[in-house]
């Protein structure tokens, strides 16, 4: 799979919002006095874990699928995914009545693979490396004529993901900071596009797991650094930061905040106990980053995107048993 040549703009986010409106949920913004008191800030949680397929990924996938002309769409779509994007693309394709092929890496969360199959995709298994994913995607594309929809570098996907921040900033125009997870950078870049026009004084922070901190290293060096092997429970953030995403985020002067897996699990528990919202580890990185950097956020109005809620319930007891409440 390869990047499309054009960079998305704010107008593309607006067009995506109109395009996906018949299919995607406008997710709620949640509040917690207990968490506000803990941080010393006013927090607004954008509940993308309550989006269709349980993650923000449906926005970008839906926009990509419904952007295709009829002749192109008839040949189907193909992508690689460890879970949420694959499920999102499968559902979007099903809604349009076209085929969907998803290349999945070994070791992906079983619950997420089951969701991809449930929404009607054909699964193709490969080794757990980006190179293996890309190679098999190219093979499937050549064999089927399907249109590739990259999980985070496709401009249509980036524009679609930006609709989450569009909704949040429209509902809460006075935010001082916005915190989103950083993996491949689709949500982060889309958020940057929305912020540039709607909230130019708002600061963008990117929450990234220490076990997959290519974003932090790339920002420090000023150039992409993909020389790492991911080691984190945040399976949705193990992908490498995309080039187009990196460019957009650098222009936005985004700041990366890294958190370790123990902090992520503690944040998951805190969200569950204080707000009764169950989110996946990748999603909990945002609250974990805010907690770990209280001094940075104290006294500010902070938007936090809860990106997904697709938790492996079988693994949850062992995961939570390792941590105590903060």
Structural domains of the chain ordered from first start: 10-55+154-321 (3.40.50.1100), 58-148 (3.40.50.1100)
Instruction: From residue 277, give the alpha-carbon distance in Å to each of 28, 92, 101, 110, 269.
Output: 12, 25, 31, 21, 9
Whether residue 2 is predicted with pLDDT greater than 70 in this model: the reply is: no
DSSP-based three-state secondary structure for 235: helix
Residue-level pLDDT at 326 = 43
Whether residue 5 is predicted with pLDDT greater than 60 in this model: the reply is: no
Those residues whose C-beta lies under 8 Å from the C-beta of residue 122, and which sit 6 or more positions away, are: 99, 100, 101, 102
Q: Scanning the structure block, which residue is given the tokens 């397929």? A: 53
The tokens for 157 are 């996907």
Q: Which tens digits make up the pLDDT trace of 196-235?
A: 999 999 999 999 999 999 999 999 999 999 888 889 999 8
Q: What angle do CA 290, 162, 194 make, to 5 degrees?
A: 80
Determine contact, residues 64/89, Cβ cutoff 8 Å: yes
**Which of 181, 200, 160, 154 is CA-nearest to residue 24?**
160
Q: CA-CA distance, 136 to 127, in Å (whole number)? A: 10
Average pLDDT value over all residues in the chain = 93
Q: CA-CA distance, 6 to 92, in Å (whole number)? A: 23
Q: Which tens digits make up the pLDDT trace of 140-150?
A: 999 999 999 99
Q: CA-CA distance, 97 to 176, in Å (whole number)? A: 42
Q: Which tens digits make up the pLDDT trace of 51-85?
A: 999 999 999 999 999 999 999 999 999 999 878 99
The tokens for 233 are 């429970």
Report pTM.
Answer: 0.93
Q: Which tens digits make up the pLDDT trace of 272-314?
A: 999 999 999 999 999 999 999 999 999 999 999 999 998 888 8
Q: Which tens digits make up the pLDDT trace of 148-199?
A: 999 999 999 999 999 999 999 999 999 999 999 999 999 999 999 999 999 9
In the chain, what percentage of residues exceed pLDDT 90? Answer: 83
Find which of 94-98, 113-117, 133-137 is predicted with most confidence, using mean pLDDT: 94-98
Whether residue 125 is predicted with pLDDT greater than 80 in this model: the reply is: yes
Could you give the strand order of the β-sheet that contains 177-181, starting from the edge strand earlier in sequence? 29-30, 42-47, 301-306, 177-181, 203-209, 255-259
Whether residue 319 is predicted with pLDDT greater than 90 in this model: the reply is: no
- Band (pLDDT 50/70/90 cuts) for residue 323 is low
150, 151, 155, 157: CA torsion to nearest 10 = 130
């Amino acid at each position: 799979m390869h990047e499309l040549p054009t960079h998305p703009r704010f107008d593309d986010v607006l067009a995506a919002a109109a395009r996906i409106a018949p299919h995607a949920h406008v997710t709620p913004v949640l509040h917690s006095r207990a968490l506000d008191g803990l941080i010393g800030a006013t927090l607004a949680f954008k509940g993308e874990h309550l989006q269709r397929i349980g993650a923000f990924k449906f926005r970008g996938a839906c926009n990509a699928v419904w952007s295709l002309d009829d002749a192109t769409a008839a040949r189907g779509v193909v992508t690689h995914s460890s879970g949420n994007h694959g499920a999102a693309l499968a559902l979007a394709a099903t809604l349009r009545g076209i085929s969907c092929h998803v290349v999945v890496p070994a070791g992906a969360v079983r619950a997420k693979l089951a969701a991809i199959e449930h929404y009607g995709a054909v699964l193709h298994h490969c080794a757990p490396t980006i190179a293996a994913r890309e190679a098999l995607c190219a093979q499937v594309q050549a064999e089927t004529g399907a249109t590739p929809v990259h999980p985070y570098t496709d401009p249509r996907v980036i524009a679609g993901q930006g609709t989450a921040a569009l909704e949040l900033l429209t509902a809460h125009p006075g935010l001082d900071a916005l915190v989103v997870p950083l993996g491949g950078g689709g949500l982060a870049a889309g958020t940057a596009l929305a912020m540039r026009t709607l909230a130019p004084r708002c600061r963008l922070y990117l929450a990234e797991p220490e076990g997959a901190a290519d974003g932090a290293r790339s920002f420090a060096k000023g150039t992409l650094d993909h020389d790492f092997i991911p080691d984190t429970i945040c399976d949705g953030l193990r992908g490498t930061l995309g080039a187009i995403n990196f460019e957009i985020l650098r222009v936005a002067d985004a700041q990366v905040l890294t958190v370790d897996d123990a902090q992520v699990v503690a944040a998951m528990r805190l969200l569950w106990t204080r707000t009764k919202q169950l989110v996946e580890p990748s999603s909990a990185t945002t609250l974990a980053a805010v907690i770990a950097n209280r001094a940075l956020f104290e006294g500010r109005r902070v938007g936090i995107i809860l990106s997904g809620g697709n938790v492996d319930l079988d693994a949850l007891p062992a995961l939570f048993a390792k941590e105590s409440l903060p």
